[in-house]
Structure formats: C-alpha cells, structure tokens
C-alpha cells in the first residue's frame, strides 16, 4: 500500500504541472469533494488495488481491520473522515490453491456462452 501511495501522490503532483485542463478539473473536483487528499488516495488504493485471500477467516478480518486503521490514521481531523469502504470482496477467506475441482463444458457454455 505504501508503494502505491507514492505512485498516486506522484501522479496527482504531476497533474498540477501538466496544465491539462481535463486532468486539472478532475483533480480540483477530487480536492473539493474530499477534505483530505491523503485519505482519498488511501481509500482509492484499498478499494481498487488491494486484494487478498487467506484460508483463515480470522486473518482476513485482521487484514481488513488493519486497512481500516491505516485509512483512519490518514485523517488529521474528524471532519476529514469519510464512510469506510466495503472491502468484503477485496479480502476474502478461502483456499486460492484449490480452484475449481471440476468444470463441465456444458455448464460453462450454458452460463457464459450466450
């Protein structure tokens, strides 16, 4: 997450120097709608870039909690807090090594072939 924060911050900083009207307008809209740019960046990374699977349900809950704590730590004032994102589909309990045990061609074509 820390590496992605550097990338996002660098991109947003670059937008200010490009003098592109479309990108500048989008950045201004982000700044207007979000009191904290750091909070916005962290929330975007958590909701759109971080995914994980663990076989232990407890581990996934701890990971979600740590992400939420990292997000809240970005806010310097209470006014900067926004609703926490739903990351139940980003961090899930399961076994990623097993995969599909058996796939029938007729089942696959029937659901996705149309």
Rounded to whole angstroms, the Cα distance separating 64 from 87 reads 7
Structure tokens at 13: 């900083």
The tens digit of pLDDT for each residue in 23-34 reads 999 999 999 999
Rounded to whole angstroms, the Cα distance separating 89 from 18 reads 36
- Give the mean model confidence (pLDDT) for residues 69-98: 90
> Looking at the 3D structure of the chain, how many domains does it have?
1
Domain of residue 48 covers 2-112
- Asked whether the beta carbons of 103 and 75 are under 8 A apart, the reply is no
Mean pLDDT of the chain: 87
- Band the pLDDT of 109: cuts 50, 70, 90: low
DSSP percent split of the chain into helix, strand, coil, nearest 5: 60, 5, 35
Query: Strand, coil or helix: what is 91?
Result: strand
pTM over 0.85: no
């Amino acid at each position: 997450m820390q590496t992605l924060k550097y990338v996002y911050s660098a991109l947003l900083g670059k937008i200010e120097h490009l003098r592109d009207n479309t990108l500048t307008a989008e950045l201004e809209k982000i700044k207007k709608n979000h009191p904290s740019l750091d909070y916005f960046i962290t929330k975007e990374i958590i909701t759109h870039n971080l995914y994980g699977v663990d076989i232990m349900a407890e581990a996934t809950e701890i990971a979600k909690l740590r992400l939420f704590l990292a997000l809240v730590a970005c806010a310097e004032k209470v006014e900067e807090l926004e609703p926490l994102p739903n990351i139940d589909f980003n961090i899930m309990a399961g076994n990623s090594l097993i995969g599909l045990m058996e796939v029938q061609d007729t089942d696959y074509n029937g659901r996705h072939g149309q």
